[in-house]
Amino acid sequence: MKILFLFQLDEHWQKKYDELKSEFPQHEFKNVTDPEERVEALKNAEAIVCGRLSEDEFNNSPKIKAIFVPFTGLNNFPIKLIKERNVFISNTHANAKYVAEHAVMLAMALMGNAVDYHNRLKEGYWSREKDGDNMWETIQNKTIGILGLGHIGQNIARLLRSFNCKIIGFKKSTDGFRDDNLDEVTNDLLYTVIKSDVVFTALPLTQETKGLINAKILAEMKGKYIINVGRGETISEVALYNALKDGVLKGAALDVWYNYPRKDPEPVYPASLPFWELPNVLLSPHKSSQTEAARIEMVEDTAENIRTYLLNGIPKQIAFI
């Protein structure tokens, strides 16, 4: 089998790449980073390890049987075509507990007014007034809504249990689902946001979730907080900006966005609307899984998916086939 790696191997990946080559000498491993060479290599690849694949590239890969994604999100892949051809796609959720940790940190920094206190104290202002506008808000005993009960959502619930929160989980299909860290599970999105003081979103980006949190939903979130570590476009950009600007939402902490840099060295703003000018927004540059521990575990987990596939014909973790 010809196995193609389509990204620059760092030290962690190089080690696993060498280990796989040594364990499976009967298979051909190749690492390609040049865009022109990539086109030709895809024509003969039977398994691909990559973070994104265009529709044209997939159609240019007639022999492909499996795709291994070294992280969780699959919105940069032609999912419909992959399903139609019955190709395995295998991702990793090894970063979930770290993304959840970052989400809780963002919520506490936002509600705790940490950035404003930090910036003011740098200038000698102590923010010691004991009034509503200058106090910070605790997450303890709050009702928490978690949109998306995959690995990240479940880990957020686990972490928040220690704060004596009531936790409501939203899931499209609740049949047979159980998690002891949740007080309720529902498929009613409006109910979840109305009942919650703080809403965490850990939704993947699909045709069903794009713009799911719209102006109607946000209008029901007066005085509430929203934390997004799923995908930016699950929340309507215009509706979110207006809800924050008009004071409907009390605050938002956002680690995922609407606009991303590619290779342009110039500064790139994360949205078309100026969220960064609003006082009730905490911005994070999609860093929730970028800790060394998460990177190592994601490499190891992806390598194990590849290894299991080469041994048994089925990856350890299957997103779908």
Q: Under 8 Å CB-to-CB from 197, ≥6 apart: which residues? A: 142, 143, 144, 224, 225
Q: pLDDT over 70 for what percent of the chain?
A: 99
- Does residue 80 share a domain with residue 144? no
First to last CA, the chain: 19
**Same structural domain, 107 and 203:** yes
Taking alpha carbons only, the member of 153, 52, 159 closest to residue 93 is 153
Say yes or no to pLDDT of 132 above 90.
no
Confidence of residue 266 (pLDDT cuts 50, 70, 90): confident
Q: Hey, what's the torsion of the CAs at 32, 53, 298, 92, to 10 degrees?
A: -140
Of 70-74, 159-163, 304-308, the one with minimum mean pLDDT is: 70-74
Q: What average pLDDT does this structure show over 193-215?
A: 97
Using DSSP, state whether 19 is helix, strand or coil.
helix
CB 31 within 8 A of CB 18: no
Average pLDDT, the chain: 95
Range of the domain at 278: 96-283
Q: Are residues 180 and 307 in the same domain?
A: no
Question: Is 321's pLDDT higher than 60?
Answer: no
For the question of whether the overall pTM of this predicted structure is more than 0.85, the answer is yes
| Residue 194 lies inside a defined structural domain of this protein | yes
- How large is the average pLDDT for residues 267-271? 95
Is 318 part of a structural domain of the chain? no
Does residue 207 share a domain with residue 108? yes
Averaged pLDDT, 37-46: 95
Residue 227 lies in a domain: yes
Number of domains the chain contains: 2
pLDDT number for residue 176: 87
Please give the Cα distance from 48 to 67 (Å, whole number).
5
The CATH number of the domain holding residue 230 is 3.40.50.720
Inside any domain, residue 188: yes
> Are 257 and 151 in a shared domain?
yes
